[in-house]
Amino acid sequence: MKNSRLIAAYSFITFTFGVLFLRYGYLQLINHTQLLQQSINNYSSIVATQPVRGQIVDRNGVVLANNDASYVLAALPKYLKGSQKQLFESLSKYVNITTLDKKKFYATKNNSKNYDWVVIKDDLSDKEIASVTSHAYEFPELSVFARIKRNYPFDELYSHSIGYVGRISQKDKQKIKNQDYVSNDYIGKSGIEQYYESTLRGHLGKKSIKTDANGNEVGLIDNTAATDGQTLHLTIDNKLQKLAWNLLGDNNGAIVVIDPNDGGVLAFVSKPGYNPNWFIDGISLDDWGDLMNDPKKPLLNRGAQGTYPPGSTFKPFLALTALFLGVLTPSSTVYDPGYYVIPGSSHRFRDSEKVARGTVNLMDAITYSSDTYFYKLGLDLGIDRADDVMPMFGFGKKTGVDLPIEDSGLLPSREWKAKHFRDDYQKNWQAADSVVFGIGQGLNHYTPLQMAFATTIIANEGKVITPHFFKNTTDKNNVLIESYIINSHMLPIPNTYFKFIKSAMQNVVLKGTAHGISGGLQYTMAGKTGTAQVVAMNKDNRSAKFQGKQYKDHAWFTAFAPVDKPKIAIAVIVEHAGFGAASAAPIARKLFDYYLLGEYAVVAHKPNDAADTNDQLEYSDANQSNVESGE
């Protein structure tokens, strides 16, 4: 009996140790990797490390967007328990905590992980840094450290091209569906910063840290370094950009300059602009209200989203279309009595200069901008045939420029009018619609970018090259990563027609509506003036545009130079500035002089109302006609 008990006890002990041994072997040999990872997870945390965003530089290496060190006061969410009201009250003795700071803090904290630093106050002054650090014992949960912050050194100069970065939102995260961001991260919000986000951004790194029982960092387990963003080199010429900005003076408007040889955008000005630095960490309600309520609309990208009637700058393209379709020939003439009457009608569509030119051929019609000639051509061509060819020049569709938002403008059609008008009469395309279409008025609306792009097509005699800002990218060691590949094709329009139009546009500068800017010209230039109506003129309101600036016409000038081997094409629009020859053309002349001759204008030309300036007087004889609809 005694032996049996010993045997049973021995067997039980042996069995128990056997089970334990087998379990030990299973845990150590078979399940070792999984258990080790669980063990590590119990005393470690993964922390993201930020990449340095790539710089944006112009074609000559001038930095247009960079990264500066900014000192911030921040905390880890895991140390922030309960309400932070008392914390803010205590901090206010040493740091100026604004309502906007608090709003940004709570918004970030609510979407942050335990080891995502949440900024309480950024851009600390030296005095604030000293005050907080000297009283650090009062705030053990807080830390002051330097971080990299985006900076735009030229303020509003590139607000509508480069754009800005801002704090990532939940909407941004849903849109990009990319996990390579943390809750308090930055992301491109507009312009080139948004379009080339993946290039500039880089990739997050990961740091695995040891933590104690209270979650405090006590050591480093593993570290995968972040991959910094690439440096983005643009085709922009910073000096040309600044000159274009200054030449617009206090006027609203836009200037787009393109290299016809490769489509590179040399300057892209939309005025007024705004300071993109305001948006990086959230704009204040007061500043936002000022921008939204400003009647000059500084948030509008006039270069790529502002649409305007092209006025007489449209005429060379209508002529090319008509030549291509056989509607006329270079020798076709029209009798110009100073107005045009639709057959069967008595209404007179008046010429801008109110003079009878007599018999006019196509060359002179472009040179002296005969509205009568193009009134008739618009009717003869008709909207249906125009709609078949005009898109070849980029009218009515996006240019494909590397910006996130671009307006396609409006090339009208029968279908468009029927869809957008309710009145039974207005729904139908009328003969009068074709007449005013011929001089770039009526329903025609295009962006300055589209007009500059279309001008390069004439300059290149039918070669179409997509406009772009991208030149190349390099890494932090300045090693080339990628260069732009030109995207181009040829139009099926005979080269002889392009040469004819180029010759006519050269005459515009030499002896036509823009001859006032030809004095001392050291290179050949071809261009076209234009004046786009803001209000329709008739016998009852003919003086309306002179009663206030808001009623004055917009001034256009499109041009390229040199004529035979173009290096630069320009589109200038000055809002409510009157005559294109007097306001827009002189601006273009100074831009040409700088780019082709290196002559930089020290004193900014002030078009529009500054008639007493030397610059205005220099081109005063360009203001030679009372232009209403064309020029």
Gap between the Cα atoms of 255 and 191, Å rounded? 17
Q: What percent of the chain has pLDDT over 90?
A: 58
Here the tokens at position 86 are 């008392």
pLDDT above 70 covers a percentage of the chain that reads: 83
Whether omega before 562 lies within 30 degrees of 0, making that bond cis, reads yes
CB 398 within 8 A of CB 406: yes
C-alpha gyration radius of the chain: 33
- Give the per-residue pLDDT at 208: 72
**More confident call, 306 vs 581:** 306
Q: Is the pLDDT of residue 336 over 70?
A: yes
Measured CA to CA, the distance from residue 569 to residue 591 in angstroms comes to 10
Tokens of 369: 């901008």
Mean pLDDT of 321-342: 96
Is residue 331 flagged as an active site residue? no
Q: How confident is the model at residue 26 (pLDDT cuts 50, 70, 90)?
A: low
Residue 109, token pair as written in the block? 């904290």
Residue 578 sits at φ, ψ, to 5 deg, of 90, -125
- Region for residue 51 given its phi and psi (left: phi exceeds 0; alpha: psi -120 to 50; beta: otherwise): beta
What does the H/E/C string look like for 323-335? HHHCCCCCCCEEE
pLDDT in tens, 376-425: 999 999 999 999 999 999 999 999 999 999 999 999 999 999 999 988 88
pLDDT at 565: 96
In angstroms, the CA 509 to CA 516 distance is: 8
Calculate mean pLDDT across residues 498-524: 96
| pLDDT band at residue 36 under the 50/70/90 scheme | low
Q: What's residue 41's pLDDT? A: 52
Residue 89 burial by CB count (10 A; 0-12/13-18/19+): exposed, middle or buried? Answer: exposed
| C-alpha 175, offset from chain centre | 20
Nearest to 269 by CA among 239, 292, 293, 291: 239
pLDDT digits (tens, 9 = 90+) for 99-151: 887 887 777 776 666 666 778 888 888 888 888 888 877 777 778 888 889 99
DSSP 227: B
Question: What is the amino acid identity at position 378?
Answer: G
Domains and CATH numbers, the chain: 47-234 (3.90.1310.10), 238-622 (3.40.710.10)
Looking at the DSSP assignment, which residues form a beta bridge with residue 428? none
Sequence-distant (≥ 6) Cβ neighbours of residue 14 within 8 angstroms: none
Looking only at the bridges linking them, the beta strands covering 217-224 and 205-211 are antiparallel
Q: What is the per-residue pLDDT across 609-619, written as a single tens digit (0 to 9) for each?
A: 333 333 332 33
Q: How confident is the model at residue 232 (pLDDT cuts 50, 70, 90)?
A: very high
- The 10s digit of each residue's pLDDT in 178-206 is 668 887 789 999 999 999 999 999 998 88
- Contact assessment for residue 131 and residue 94, using Cβ atoms and an 8 Å cutoff: yes
What one-character DSSP code corresponds to residue 468?
Answer: B
pLDDT of residue 370 exceeding 50, the answer is yes
Alpha carbons 187 and 165: distance in angstroms, whole number: 5
Q: What pLDDT is attached to residue 178? A: 67
Which residues, in sequence order, are bridge partners of residue 223? 207
Pair 255, 571: CB distance under 8 Å: yes
**Range 518-547 average pLDDT:** 76
What are the E-state strand segments in 156-276? 165-167, 186-188, 205-211, 217-224, 231-234, 253-258, 265-271
CB 527 within 8 A of CB 557: yes
Q: Please write the tens of the pLDDT for every residue from 453-466.
A: 999 999 999 999 99
Contact predicate 157/273, CB 8 Å: yes
Between CA 615 and CA 612 the distance in angstroms is: 9
Beta-ladder partners of 340: 349
Residue 628: band (very low, low, confident or very high) from pLDDT cuts 50, 70, 90: very low
Regarding beta strands 568-574 and 554-561, do their DSSP bridges make them parallel or antiparallel, or are they unpaired? antiparallel
- How far from chain centre, in Å, is Cα 463? 25
Instruction: Kindly report the number of other CB atoms within 10 A of residue 230's CB atom.
Output: 22
Q: For residue 352, give both structure tokens.
A: 């801008």
The per-residue pLDDT for 623 is 30
Half-sphere exposure of 383 (CA within 13 A, CB side): 22
Taking residues 357-380, report their average pLDDT.
96
Question: Residue 230 above 80 pLDDT?
Answer: yes
**Do 546 and 301 touch, CB atoms closer than 8 A?**
no
Q: Is the pLDDT score of 606 beyond 50?
A: no
Confidence of residue 558 (pLDDT cuts 50, 70, 90): very high
Residue partners of 88: CB distance under 8 A and separation at least 6: 97, 102
Q: How many helices (H) and strands (E) does the chain have?
A: 22, 23
- For helices 371-381 and 315-325, the axis angle rounded to 10 degrees is 40
Statement: residue 492 has pLDDT above 50: yes
Judge whether 584 and 607 are in contact, CB under 8 Å: yes
In 50-204, DSSP assigns E strands to 56-57, 63-75, 118-121, 142-151, 165-167, 186-188
Of 327, 360, 323, 336, nearest to 498 by C-alpha is: 323
Is pLDDT above 70 for 214?
no
Catalytic residue (one of 312, 332, 370, 434): 312
pLDDT number for residue 580: 75
Alpha carbon separation from 422 to 413, 434, 536 (Å, rounded): 16, 19, 21
Query: How far is the C-alpha of 51 from the C-alpha of 205, rounded, in Å?
Result: 7
